[in-house]
Amino acid sequence: MVLFDSHCHLTDRSYIASLDDVISRAQNSGVQFMLTVGLNIDDSLASIKIANKYPDVYCSIGIHPHDAKGMRDGDMERLEKMISDTKVKAIGEAGLDFYRNYSDRESQERAFHKQIDLAQKLGIPMIIHIRAAYPEAKTILLEHKYFNGVIHCYSGDDIFAQWAVTQGFYISFTGSITYDNPNLKDIAKKLPQDRILIETDAPYLAPVPMRGKRNEPSYVKYVAQTIAQLRNSTVENISELTTKNSKKLFGI
Ligand SMILES: [Zn+2]
């Protein structure tokens, strides 16, 4: 069984003392591949460092909607320079979060537009974060006509999911698929198998039976197990197809 945790945050403070152990626990549970996701300029640089330390760890670089208000002139050029590192596989996470609103909406929209422009210019996929802003995100994506990437930690409805996969996006599920969440479970049941990714979003959103603890990439197997049950499949089969999908999207 070879799993791919397509979205985690290995730069998180909670891993500093034990990152070697976190990575070896993941690899001992079949999680060969991990992609650590950048949240802002400094975090993207830190993600590149981690990705270069471990052979099967990759990374993305970008500005999270929570950090959009801190975006400065020249940040897109800074990101563009980072792309030359061969471990960088995507732009993100970028998007809109109108649930927390840690950045004002205007800053979030500006950062999203600029990062789509950059991804489009470079022809690389995006890791897209959307929370309580699905219609607004759809409008922006349609404006750019750039549909190369993944809608991570999916929390939208069935209609958006169908639209997204028809355009060519992947949909990624976190530990929230293991919670009591009938609508999300129903979406995971019906999606075409070549559009599904799995992730932990660690250190957040630990899946059942680890809910409430610090999450880590080794727990992505619980996400795979839940999706296997929902789709009357096996965990081996779901691991294989989601790993294949992640590799295809990120060009690995
Ligand atoms: Zn994330």
Average pLDDT over residues 13-31: 96
Sheet holding 149-152, edge to edge: 3-8, 31-37, 57-61, 88-97, 126-131, 149-152, 170-173, 196-198
Quick: pLDDT tens for 134-152. 999 999 999 999 999 999 9
The C-alpha atoms of residue 215 and residue 5 are separated, in whole angstroms, by: 12
Confidence of residue 5 (pLDDT cuts 50, 70, 90): very high
How many whole angstroms from 34 Cα to the centroid of ligand 1? 13
Distance of alpha carbon 59 from alpha carbon 45, whole angstroms: 10
- In the reported structure, the alpha carbon of residue 144 is separated from the centroid of ligand 1 by a whole-number distance in angstroms of 23
Contact 13, 206 (CB under 8 A): no
Q: 203: helix, coil or strand?
A: coil
Question: What protein residues have CB closer than 5 angstroms to ion ligand 1?
Answer: 201
Query: 229: CA distance to ligand 1 center in Å?
Result: 25
Ligand 1 centroid distance, CA of 118 (Å)? 20
On whether the CB atoms of residues 191 and 163 are closer than 8 A, the answer is no
Q: Which helix (H) or strand (E) holds 96?
A: strand 88-97
The CA 65 to ligand 1 mean position distance, Å, reads 11
Task: Name the residue range of residue 164's domain.
Answer: 3-250
Tens digits of per-residue pLDDT, 208-219? 999 999 999 999
Q: Which of 4, 16, 45 is nearest to 214 (CA)?
A: 16
Half-sphere exposure at residue 104, Cβ-oriented, CA atoms within 13 angstroms = 5
Distance between Cα 7 and ligand 1 center (Å)? 6
**Domains of the chain: total:** 1
Distance (Å) from CA 93 to ligand 1 centroid: 7
* CATH number of the domain residue 99 falls in: 3.20.20.140
Q: Which residue has the tokens 């470079």?
A: 122
pLDDT tens track for 175-201: 999 999 999 999 999 999 999 999 999
* Residue 80: predicted pLDDT: 98
The pLDDT of residue 18 is: 95
**CB neighbours (10 Å) of residue 217?**
27
